[in-house]
């Protein structure tokens, strides 16, 4: 894939919509395109957060560990980012991400991601909105699981 093609793909990602083409070119040049087959884990819950991934194609599921095993709490689709929480909060991964279809992703290191946020404050607002939406979704899913567990008691 050419650098120009990578920039065109990044333009489709809402998080990068306000980033200049020159900066996207730099991001594409300094980042790594990675490919994962279906059923491959990008990272496990509890792993250190060293990079975020922008899904350029494919799909992955978000799984959290529970006493009764893994629980699927969501899906990551094309043009979405995953793994940014561990980078932003300097904590371990909060979930396991496993591909459900083959995935092509852009791997952005922690240093690159922080630099992007510093240069483009508007990205910070978009990330806050995305994280708030994820928190809302996760809270709803956990409430549903709690209700189901209470029914079993």
CA distances from 147 to 62, 73, 135, 151 (A): 21, 15, 18, 6
pLDDT in the model for residue 37: 98
Segments in the chain below pLDDT 50: none
The predicted model scores a pTM of: 0.81
Q: What CATH number should be reported for the domain holding residue 148? A: 2.60.120.10
CA distances from 75 to 23, 114, 119, 142 (A): 28, 24, 29, 15
pLDDT in the model for residue 100: 98
pLDDT in the model for residue 45: 95
Q: Under a CB-based contact definition with an 8 Å cutoff, are residues 106 and 54 in contact? A: yes
103-122 tens-digit pLDDT: 999 999 999 888 888 887 77
Residue range(s) defining the domain that contains residue 130: 3-152
Antiparallel, parallel or unpaired: β 69-76 and 81-82: unpaired
pLDDT in the model for residue 123: 76
Counting the structural domains of the chain, the total is: 1
């Amino acid at each position: 894939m050419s650098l120009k093609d990578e920039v065109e793909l990044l333009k489709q990602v809402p998080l990068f919509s306000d980033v200049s083409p020159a900066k996207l070119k730099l991001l594409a040049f300094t980042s790594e395109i990675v490919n994962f087959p279906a059923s491959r884990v990008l990272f496990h819950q509890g792993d250190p957060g060293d990079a975020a991934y922008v899904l350029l194609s494919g799909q992955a599921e978000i799984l959290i560990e529970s006493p009764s095993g893994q629980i699927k709490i969501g899906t990551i689709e094309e043009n979405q980012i995953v793994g940014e929480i561990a980078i932003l909060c300097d904590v371990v991964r909060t979930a396991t991400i496993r591909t459900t279809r083959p995935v092509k992703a852009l791997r952005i290191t922690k240093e690159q991601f922080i630099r992007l946020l510093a240069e483009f404050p508007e990205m910070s607002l978009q990330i806050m909105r995305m994280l708030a939406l994820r928190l809302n979704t996760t809270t709803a899913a956990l409430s549903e699981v709690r209700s189901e567990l209470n029914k079993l008691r």
